[in-house]
Chain A
Amino acid sequence: MLDYGKTLLSIRDLSVRFATYQGLARVLEKVCLDIKSGEILGLVGETGCGKSVLARSVLRIIPSPPGKIAAGTISYQGEDLLQISETRMRQVRGNRISMIFQEPMSSLNPVFSVGNQMREVIRLHQQVSKKEATRIALDMLRQVQMPDPAAVLGKFPHELSGGMRQRVMIAMELSCGPDLLLADEPTTALDVTVQGQVLAILRRLAGEKGVSVLFITHDMGVVAQICDRVAVMYAGQMVEVAEVKELFSAPAHPYTRGLISAIPGAEGEKGAEHLYSIPGVVPGLIDPPEGCRYHPRCEKKRAVCTEQTPVMVKLHADHDVACHCCGPSREEGRP
């Protein structure tokens, strides 16, 4: 029985390093994150902040070498996913935790039909006959509102549109009844009207099946529309985790505030002439700034920010932030 709100997956002090020609990149630095049962947790941040690496680390599919999980634990149902054997991990992948990627064309095999690939996935994880697998596949395609599912089973990926391919991926990943779906920018490559359809399907199915979703995106609009909680990353560090309404109405971390203020249209219906923009650029991860990695761009920087890495502290019930300048004693309001 599903226990809503209970922690399903718990990431603690996860550090990931990538060996590059320029040096060792500290891609994730002591990242902590809890994913609760039945929630859609948004993971946002700019390109290169480590959000995809975080998701891939959970499934242990970061390319190694050059990547290496240097430290940390990922506990899932009493097990540390970073310690279990590869055989055990393969039982977790797909069965318990599955993943959909941004570009469905590169996740589908171009030379096999959709039906063939879906049946393979289903039979790999469940002891069923081919006929039964076809039935499950059809049922799943119906659940993702695929028009004419029987015909789609006989088609090849290139015969489908982008939105249909992504629906096939969702159907495939949910066919084995996972507890957790890692969705890495699943709608970024889609047109806005099709994105709307796919998001609606994802939101409905996650609710019906009680699947937790880690939804990676850089689109704050998408986050606001489908997520229950949001985690914000910056340059390999987790900076803020909050309930979605709380995050948009009272963002605490200066980076989160900047991110929200920079959205075109967020400044009101009429709009100001200038958008708010965060000064400077995202730092490199080989030699990131000491202390808080955001300090070179931060308006509220203090001496302590350049020396000590801030730790996550609880602002209140569902709002954590890692910042020296906006701890629990904060009184100031929005920017």
Chain B
Amino acid sequence: MNRGSPVIEVRDLIKNFAVSSGFFGRPGTFLRAVDRVSLLIRRGETLGLVGESGSGKSTVGNCILRLLQPDGGQIFFRGRDLAAMNRRELQTIRGRVQVVFQDPLSSLDPRMTIKRIVGYPLTVSKQVRGAEVEDRVLAMLREVGLGKDHLHRYPHEFSGGQRQRIGMARALITEPECIMLDEPTSALDVSVQAQILNLIHDLQKRHGYAYLFITHDLAVVRHISHRIAVMYLGLIVESASKDTLFENPCHPYTRALMASAPRPDPFNRQDLAVLPGDPPSPVHIPPGCRFHPRCSSVMDVCRLEAPPRVRIAADHEVACHLYPST
């Protein structure tokens, strides 16, 4: 097993959304949800993508899945550019890059049985037919901790954690190489969240999946990821291996994010209000460094120039004027 080979590589991804369309469909105002984002997801590895709401983290995931059409940049799956593929070519790839969404109830059709839901990707891709579908579905359900008696039930009969298992089974049945996990545990209670995180971890161990784990929860991302990228307003401001990032966070935003996450430790009370203000709307992106209006170490240059991405260690990049490129 060639662990560590790149599965997905994203280069300078750009995605714009129209805020208002112009007069008679002429181009109006745009907001840039994702601005030149580059990522690398390797086999058997989890890349955590962290950010607050509106930071563009889900948009990156949706662009990789081509659920959204990127406006610039390239997305390579095993060396082939997904962004340039047509529908037919995409269909051959779709089964190999899968997704699990946040809310398991709204992503499962309430009128389909579990057997149909989980078997659907196989039916669509015409990989298998007939009785073999049921065998594969059953094998997959066992893999995620469900069983034969669940086959003919409907989504509403399951608890939140079980529904997320069903979502996992559906994503895994086409034997993908890469899976986007878009806040898969945010809607779950902490004891159930632990079960699902363990499941996600075990499946990766067994099959070597590459995960893009999108979340706003730093504790979860720290537990599950190998490498972490922090997004703010459509931009990756810092990326590093998990241990490096938590031991030596460099970007002021990463530091603030870590300091304001409440830790389950009543013996050390934190100053929780470390970062003033709200995340600005992506329609009105501040000039220069996007973070400068909220930054505690703001300098004159931050108001004028966007900081470049600088490699400060082997696996540690940061975009901040505090770390000038040499």
Contacts and interface: CB of A to CB of B under 8 A. Distances in A.
B266 interface: yes
B312 interface: no
Interface string B59-88: 000000000000000000000000000000
A65 interface: no
Interface core residue of B194, B216, B262 (most chain A CB under 10 Å): B262
A332 B196 CA distance: 30
A20 interface: no
Contacts of A274: 198, 201
Nearest to A225: B262
B237 to A, nearest CB: 13
B265 interface: yes
A99 B296 CA distance: 34
B283 interface: no
A93 B274 CA distance: 34
B160 to A, nearest CB: 7
B263 interface: yes
B139 interface: no
Interface string B270-289: 11111111110000000000
A158 interface: no
A64 B188 CA distance: 28
B148 interface: no
Contacts of A46: 189-192
Contact of B263 (A161, A191, A218, A225): A225
Interface residues of A, number: 50
Contacts of A211: none
Contacts of B274: 193, 196
B179 to A, nearest CB: 19
A194 B262 CA distance: 12
B271 A200 contact: yes
Interface string B26-53: 0000000000000000000000000011
Given A245-B266, A266-B264, A259 B272 contact: no
A260 to B, nearest CB: 7
Contacts of B52: 191-194
A200 B275 CA distance: 11
Interface stretch (B95-103, B113-121, B122-130, B219-227): B219-227
**Interface of A: prevailing SS:** helix
Nearest to A266: B264
A197 interface: yes
Interface stretch (B10-18, B253-261, B303-311, B316-324): B253-261
Contacts of B278: 161-164, 194
B264 A224 contact: yes
Contacts of B276: 197
Contacts of A192: 52, 216, 218, 257, 260-261
A218 B187 CA distance: 11
A223 B273 CA distance: 16
B244 interface: no
A326 B266 CA distance: 23
Contacts of A161: 278
A200 B201 contact: no
A281 B159 contact: yes
Nearest to A191: B52
Contact of B194 (A221, A247, A249, A275): A275
B181 to A, nearest CB: 14
A197 B276 CA distance: 7
Interface in A248-303: 248-249, 258-260, 262-266, 271, 273-278, 281-282
B272 A199 contact: yes
Given A161-B278, A203-B272, A249-B267, 7 more contacts: A191-B216, A192-B216, A196-B274, A197-B276, A263-B190, A265-B263, A277-B198
Cβ-closest 5 pairs across A and B: A196-B260, A221-B262, A196-B272, A200-B273, A277-B194
Interface of A: 46-47, 147, 161-164, 191-197, 199-201, 203, 218-227, 244-245, 247-249, 258-260, 262-266, 271, 273-278, 281-282
